[in-house]
């Protein structure tokens, strides 16, 4: 769902209805996918595709919400964002069950799990960066970074947003095993916030999901208080 200019309350209600229906849909689909998880390569490929599509939907919900933020009151915005983060948490729990005891799925889906946990903890705030991180697309992440550099130079991108997104991209690249330049490492060290630094500390590689989940759960609980 993409919102244009002049969004109306009815369209916001439609987004909320979409979230409610999606919760039911995800529950059914995950049940079917858990049944598939122990099967062969074709099923594994289909499972990964379905999971990526689900993650895309959730990231689109976050993006739609940010696009219509100015037209919502603070309570509406926070409640809807909380619901979407809770869906991501449920997605992550189900993903963990699917991966349990299946090393093929761990290899295929570990990047997706870490990206989801980055979103839940709000270490990452940019839906498109989370998508590319989840799909293990370092080349596309570098392309996006180059586009951001150009946009900053011509005044199309505000410095604060540039810094936030560049930190997310560099962190994702490092987690995907990409080598960063000395300048990029220095930029990351100078600009990483507290939550992102903690995310870095507990997620030294793609296999440390349990520790990252603990951080994510802590951050979700903080938002509820």
Q: Give, in order, the Cα–Cα distances in Å from 163 to each of 63, 127, 137, 140, 166.
A: 19, 16, 20, 18, 5
Q: Please compute, for residue 134, the number of CA atoms within 13 A of its CA located in the half-sphere on the CB side.
A: 27
The per-residue pLDDT for range 182-202, each reduced to its tens digit, is: 999 999 999 988 777 777 766
Determine the pLDDT at residue 191: 93
Name every residue whose Cβ is closer than 8 Å to that of residue 11 and which is 6 or more positions away in sequence: 3, 68
Span of 1-10, 91-100, 123-132, 158-167 with lowest mean pLDDT: 1-10
Name every residue whose Cβ is closer than 8 Å to that of residue 43 and which is 6 or more positions away in sequence: 36, 37
Average pLDDT over residues 124-147: 94
Total Cβ atoms within 10 A of residue 143: 12
Domain boundaries, the chain: 9-224
For residue 131 the two structure tokens come to 């998508």
Q: Please compute, for residue 209, the number of CA atoms within 13 A of its CA located in the half-sphere on the CB side.
A: 19
- For the cut 90, the answer to whether the pLDDT of residue 162 exceeds it is yes
61 falls in which pLDDT band (50, 70, 90)? confident
The per-residue pLDDT for range 3-20, each reduced to its tens digit, is: 444 455 566 666 666 665
For the ranges 106-115, 167-176, 188-197, the one whose mean pLDDT is highest: 167-176
- Find, among 157, 109, 154, the residue nearest to 135 by Cα: 109
As a whole number, the mean pLDDT across the chain is: 78
């Amino acid at each position: 769902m993409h919102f244009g200019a002049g969004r109306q309350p009815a369209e916001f209600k439609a987004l909320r209805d979409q979230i409610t229906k999606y919760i039911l849909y995800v529950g059914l689909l995950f049940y079917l996918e858990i049944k598939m998880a122990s099967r062969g390569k074709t099923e594994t490929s289909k499972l990964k595709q379905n999971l990526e599509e689900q993650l895309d939907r959730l990231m689109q919900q976050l993006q739609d919400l940010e696009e219509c933020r100015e037209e919502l009151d603070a309570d509406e915005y926070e409640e809807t964002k909380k619901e979407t983060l809770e869906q991501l948490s449920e997605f992550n729990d189900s993903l963990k069950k699917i991966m349990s005891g299946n090393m093929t799925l761990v290899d295929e889906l570990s990047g997706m799990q870490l990206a989801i946990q980055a979103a839940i903890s709000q270490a990452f705030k940019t839906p498109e960066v989370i998508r590319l991180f989840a799909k293990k697309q370092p080349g596309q992440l570098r392309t996006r970074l180059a586009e951001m550099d150009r946009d900053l130079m011509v005044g199309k991108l505000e410095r604060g947003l540039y810094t936030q997104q560049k930190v997310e991209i560099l962190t994702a690249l490092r987690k995907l095993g990409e080598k960063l330049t000395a300048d990029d490492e220095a930029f990351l060290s100078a600009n990483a916030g507290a939550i992102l630094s903690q995310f870095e500390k507990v997620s030294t590689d793609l296999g440390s999901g349990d520790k990252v989940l603990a951080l994510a759960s802590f951050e979700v609980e903080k938002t509820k208080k």
